[in-house]
């Protein structure tokens, strides 16, 4: 996939082709500098030297070196990434939940019977304190009302429009600006070394697929997430339609992550990245495979540049991104490198 | 994916890189002949000239020509293929069903309580006439007993072993030899033009994924099929396990095909190939997209070289691969080219 982009493949492919064509090899120096310079030539530039960066470099070296016992054939190279809190900001609230709450007025405008019914009444009140107290069951009602009942195209158009206008409350920037630059470099580095990079998110698969290509270079088919059923049918004009249904096919959290990986990818990842207890089973499943494996955790310990939360950072637990002390203990026991945002990352965002 | 293979990308990438490097462009003629010769240089060599072949050539030309109004960007190029009867032989019985029947003795050996219970008793009797009369419900019991209850690795190992030893009753060859050479050329031709090729099969996803890379060059993650749930857990040694469960997540037939495509691929195919009523909704969904689309049907009308079956071939309907007169009528009405195995294909199999 990524090799389709001109900057992605040409130099590497050219080099290997030249190696097969001795008559041309002496002309290597004549290639313009632009064709030789790639972001991945110096991998992970936003990372400080340290054990986390070294673990990534070592993993890629040993799994792509044909003389290594841990060599992995290109067609078998798979790396999976949790999204919220691993590839972009998840505090103070998952962006998709913000989307669903923002959609409530439009839904109620079409269905006035919901105006005085909970939990819609509370959301319409705008009372943030009351909204923060909504139960899981309340949230499920809001998700069902705002994420289902429309065609897949209508959903895509609505969510896309929201993404263009919504702003994160702290940085006043689009959510899509709030990806972690060091993790984008990990995606680039793995892809430059033949890995297919997947998002494996507890969030909605359809929601993440809207922007994954644009912000991570990850196409829709490489996004595995919590997924609802769709229903095939025909519109009034006889044209086929796919409508989003309020029936969950895959809850892509905890045990659902390895189950979703089997369903959607069909092979065990060689590397996996997460940041919370919801990623634990994916990291375990990855780590238990034969050969060299890499399971890593992002620790949010940088209140100044991003956030610090969860017991592993020495702070109380939060509703989102629970990095418990038990998970931290497992990481130490299993030898999963933990990434300290504060110490391992030179910068957090591309706009800094 | 396919661009990872040396023969897949090098020449094309070299050409585009050379175009950017004027100092090298005059040396194009110096490339050794081997680097210039590719199977796809003369596309579809096993096809006779005719409207079916022309439809494929025209589709690829208009969707990959940047000056065309129907141009499709590389990252959006998706083509889907039914498997049984479209990419390989489905008569006289789906290969996976043969696998399940062949597995019954091993299952009964481990679970003697099933020996005198139907439908296992009938299968053990070896009475082919009685087996042909088994109901759908009986078959489901056999599928559940032979395809679930084991780890995903154990299933893969068992199915792989069977594939190596099983022989098709007519040709006395492994089932994996019985792929249609002309369709493999369509897969190659589309991939050489930037299309990702997917199998979208009513058969079991896990079963097809075992051999798809080897026989079609299609990796596991590009196989969408009927899929059961798995359950994540831990073995006695504490190691994580994924166990196949008798719970259907996706029945990838009829309406399930576009629904499965949305779940697993997340975008509408530009081209789709099928051969039976089970593919109808996939062809409709593909055809209804904007721009140039290609929906095609393989007609089994060659009893001498393969099989002739179904009303559209002038013969009575069969249990597998139902190409009804109604589907034939829809193809004519919608302008879906129908591929006549007898007239459009120079040869059927690679071994001929």
- The pLDDT of residue A16 is 33
Number of A/B CB contacts below 8 angstroms equals 157
What residue in B sits closest to A259 (Cα-Cα)?
B230
A5, A7, A8, A17: best mutation site toward chain B, by most B Cβ within 10 Å? A17
Name which of A64, A43, A77 is nearest A222 in CA terms: A77
Question: Taking the C-alpha atoms of A141, A144, A150 and A153 in order, what is their torsion angle to the nearest 10 degrees?
Answer: 130
- The pLDDT of residue A10 is 33
**In B44-92, which ranges are E strands?**
78-81
- How close A84 comes to chain B (CA, Å)? 20
The mean pLDDT of B68-76, rounded to a whole number, is: 95
Q: Do B17 and A24 touch (CB under 8 A)?
A: no
- Taking residue A141's Cβ as centre, other Cβ atoms within 10 Å add up to 17
> What is the dihedral sign for C-alpha A226, A228, A232, A233?
negative
Q: What is the C-alpha to C-alpha distance for residues B234 and B241, in angstroms, rounded to an integer?
A: 5
- The pLDDT of residue A39 is 47
Name which of B299, B298, B345, B340 is nearest B46 in CA terms: B345
**In A117-239, which ranges are E strands?**
196-204, 223-234
| C-alpha distances out from residue B29 to B14, B33, B82, B307, Å | 12, 9, 41, 47
Phi, psi (deg, nearest 5) at residue A223: -115, 115
The residues, ordered by sequence, that sit 6+ positions from A220 with a Cβ below 8 Å of its Cβ are: A209, A212, A213, B265, B266, B267
Q: What is the CA radius of gyration of chain A?
A: 22
- Give the closest of B220, B242, B262 to A242, CB-based: B262
Q: Do B232 and A23 touch (CB under 8 A)?
A: no
Model confidence, pTM: 0.88
Q: What is the pLDDT of residues A169-214, one digit of tens each?
A: 999 999 999 999 999 999 999 999 999 999 999 999 999 999 999 9
Give CA angle at A279 (A167, A157), nearest 5°. Answer: 35
- Give the closest of A13, A221, A285 to B266, CB-based: A221
Q: What is the C-alpha to C-alpha distance for residues B352 and B342, in angstroms, rounded to an integer?
A: 15
- How close A63 comes to chain B (CA, Å)? 16
Q: Do A10 and B17 touch (CB under 8 A)?
A: yes
With H, G, I as helix, E, B as strand and everything else as coil, classify residue B185: helix
| C-alpha distances out from residue B31 to A12, B11, B40, B154, B258, Å | 17, 9, 18, 48, 44
Q: Do A3 and B6 touch (CB under 8 A)?
A: no
Pairing of strands A223-234, A240-250: antiparallel
- The pLDDT of residue B28 is 33
- The pLDDT of residue A33 is 35
| C-alpha distances out from residue B66 to A1, A10, B71, B72, Å | 19, 19, 6, 8
The residues, ordered by sequence, that sit 6+ positions from B292 with a Cβ below 8 Å of its Cβ are: B59, B62, B63, B70, B72, B270
Q: What is the C-alpha to C-alpha distance for residues A206 and A171, in angstroms, rounded to an integer?
A: 25
The residues, ordered by sequence, that sit 6+ positions from A159 with a Cβ below 8 Å of its Cβ are: A99, A206, A207, A210
Name which of A202, A173, A170 is nearest A304 in CA terms: A170
* Cα A346 to chain centroid, rounded: 21
- The pLDDT of residue B318 is 72
Q: DSSP assignment, residue A199?
A: E
B48 by Cβ neighbours in 10 Å (0-12 / 13-18 / 19+) ranks as: middle
Q: Is the pLDDT of residue B142 over 90?
A: yes
A156, A240, A268: best mutation site toward chain B, by most B Cβ within 10 Å? A240
Element (H, E) at A249: strand A240-250
In percent, the amount of chain A with pLDDT more than 90 equals 81
User: Is-contact A294 A272, C-beta < 8 A?
Assistant: yes
Q: What is the C-alpha to C-alpha distance for residues A138 and B347, in angstroms, rounded to an integer?
A: 61
| C-alpha distances out from residue B236 to A329, B239, B240, Å | 22, 7, 10
- The pLDDT of residue B7 is 34
| C-alpha distances out from residue A262 to A37, A200, B205, B209, B228, Å | 37, 11, 10, 11, 10
Strand partners, A179: A88
Segment among A4-18, A26-40, B314-328 with least mean pLDDT? A4-18
Helices (H), chain B: 6-20, 22-25, 33-36, 51-64, 95-110, 120-125, 128-132, 136-147, 152-165, 181-192, 205-209, 212-216, 256-264, 280-287, 325-334, 341-344
Q: Which two tokens stand for residue A159?
A: 């969510």
With H, G, I as helix, E, B as strand and everything else as coil, classify residue A38: coil
The mean pLDDT of A252-277, rounded to a whole number, is: 97
The mean pLDDT of B9-38, rounded to a whole number, is: 34
- How close B231 comes to chain A (CA, Å)? 7
Could you give the count of Cα atoms lying within 13 Å of B11 in the half-sphere of its Cβ?
17
The mean pLDDT of A18-43, rounded to a whole number, is: 42
Residues of A in contact with B2 (CB under 8 A): none
Phi, psi (deg, nearest 5) at residue B300: -85, 95
Q: Do B285 and A205 touch (CB under 8 A)?
A: no
Indicate the pLDDT class of residue A6, thresholds 50, 70 and 90: very low
- How close A286 comes to chain B (CA, Å)? 9
Residues of B in contact with A250 (CB under 8 A): 249
- Taking residue A30's Cβ as centre, other Cβ atoms within 10 Å add up to 12
The mean pLDDT of A47-70, rounded to a whole number, is: 97
In percent, the amount of chain B with pLDDT more than 90 equals 81
Q: What is the C-alpha to C-alpha distance for residues B11 and B279, in angstroms, rounded to an integer?
A: 36
Q: Is the pLDDT of residue B22 over 80?
A: no
Q: Which two tokens stand for residue A303?
A: 């209140």
User: Is-contact A306 A347, C-beta < 8 A?
Assistant: no
Cis peptide before B90, with omega less than 30 degrees from 0? no
Residues of A in contact with B220 (CB under 8 A): 265-267
Report chain A's mean pLDDT, rounded to a whole number.
88
Q: What is the C-alpha to C-alpha distance for residues B61 and B66, in angstroms, rounded to an integer?
A: 10
Q: Do B240 and A24 touch (CB under 8 A)?
A: no
Q: What is the pLDDT of residues A109-128, one digit of tens each?
A: 999 999 999 999 999 999 98
In percent, the amount of chain A with pLDDT more than 70 equals 88
| C-alpha distances out from residue A234 to A230, B281, B285, B317, B327, Å | 13, 10, 10, 27, 17
Q: DSSP assignment, residue A151?
A: B
- How close A296 comes to chain B (CA, Å)? 17
What residue in A sits closest to B242 (Cα-Cα)?
A259
Q: Do B14 and A9 touch (CB under 8 A)?
A: no
Report chain B's mean pLDDT, rounded to a whole number.
88
Q: What is the C-alpha to C-alpha distance for residues B38 and B35, in angstroms, rounded to an integer?
A: 8
The mean pLDDT of A209-237, rounded to a whole number, is: 97
Residues of B in contact with A16 (CB under 8 A): 6, 10
Element (H, E) at A295: strand A294-299
The residues, ordered by sequence, that sit 6+ positions from B181 with a Cβ below 8 Å of its Cβ are: B46, B345, B347, B348, B349, B350, B352
Residues of A in contact with B285 (CB under 8 A): 232, 240, 242
- The pLDDT of residue B62 is 97
**In chain B, which ranges are E strands?**
78-81, 196-204, 223-234, 240-250, 271-274, 294-299, 338-340
Q: What is the C-alpha to C-alpha distance for residues A262 and A289, in angstroms, rounded to an integer?
A: 13
- Give the closest of A21, A74, A259 to B232, CB-based: A259
Residues of A in contact with B265 (CB under 8 A): 220-221
The mean pLDDT of A88-94, rounded to a whole number, is: 94
Q: DSSP assignment, residue A343?
A: H
Q: Do A75 and B213 touch (CB under 8 A)?
A: yes
Phi, psi (deg, nearest 5) at residue B307: -145, 160
- Give the closest of B4, B30, B220 to A23, CB-based: B30
Q: What is the C-alpha to C-alpha distance for residues B17 and B31, in angstroms, rounded to an integer?
A: 14
- The pLDDT of residue A292 is 97
| C-alpha distances out from residue B84 to B113, B298, B304, B311, Å | 34, 11, 19, 18
Segment among A6-20, A197-211, A250-264, B256-270 with least mean pLDDT? A6-20
- The pLDDT of residue B271 is 98
Residues of A in contact with B3 (CB under 8 A): 3-4, 9
Name which of A292, A297, A288 is nearest A327 in CA terms: A297
- The pLDDT of residue A34 is 36
The question of ipTM being above 0.95 is answered as: no
Indicate the pLDDT class of residue B191, thresholds 50, 70 and 90: very high
Indicate the pLDDT class of residue B18, thresholds 50, 70 and 90: very low
């Amino acid at each position: 996939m990524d090799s389709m982009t001109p900057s992605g493949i040409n130099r590497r492919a050219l080099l290997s082709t030249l190696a097969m064509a001795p008559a041309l090899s002496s002309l290597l120096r004549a290639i313009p500098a632009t064709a030789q310079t790639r972001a991945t030539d110096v991998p992970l530039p936003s990372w400080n030297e340290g054990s986390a960066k070294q673990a990534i470099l070592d993993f890629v070296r040993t799994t792509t070196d044909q003389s290594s016992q841990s060599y992995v054939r290109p067609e078998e190279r798979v790396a999976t990434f949790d999204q919220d809190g691993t590839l972009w900001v998840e505090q103070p609230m998952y962006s998709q939940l913000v989307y669903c709450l923002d959609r409530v007025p439009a839904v109620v405008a079409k269905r006035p019977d919901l105006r005085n019914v909970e939990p819609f009444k509370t959301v319409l009140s705008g009372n943030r304190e009351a909204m923060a107290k909504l139960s899981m069951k309340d949230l499920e009602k809001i998700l069902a009302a705002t994420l289902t009942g429309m065609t897949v195209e209508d959903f895509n158009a609505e969510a896309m429009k929201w993404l263009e206008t919504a702003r994160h409350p702290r940085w006043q920037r689009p959510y899509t600006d709030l990806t972690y630059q060091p993790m984008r470099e990990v995606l680039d580095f793995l892809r430059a070394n033949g890995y297919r990079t997947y998002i494996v998110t507890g969030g909605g698969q359809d929601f993440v697929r809207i922007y994954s290509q644009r912000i991570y270079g990850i196409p829709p088919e490489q996004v595995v997430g919590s997924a609802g059923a769709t229903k095939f049918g025909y519109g009034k004009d006889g044209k086929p339609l796919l409508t989003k249904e309020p029936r969950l096919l895959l809850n892509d959290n905890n045990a659902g992550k390895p189950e979703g990986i089997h369903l959607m990818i069909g092979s065990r990842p060689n590397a996996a990245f997460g940041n919370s207890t919801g990623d634990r089973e994916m990291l375990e499943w990855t780590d238990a495979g034969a050969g060299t494996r890499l399971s890593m955790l992002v620790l949010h310990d940088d209140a100044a540049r991003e956030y610090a939360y969860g017991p592993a950072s020495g702070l109380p637990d939060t509703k989102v991104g629970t990095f418990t002390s038990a998970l931290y203990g497992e990481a130490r026991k299993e030898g999963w490198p933990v990434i300290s945002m504060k110490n391992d990352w030179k910068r957090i965002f591309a706009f800094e």
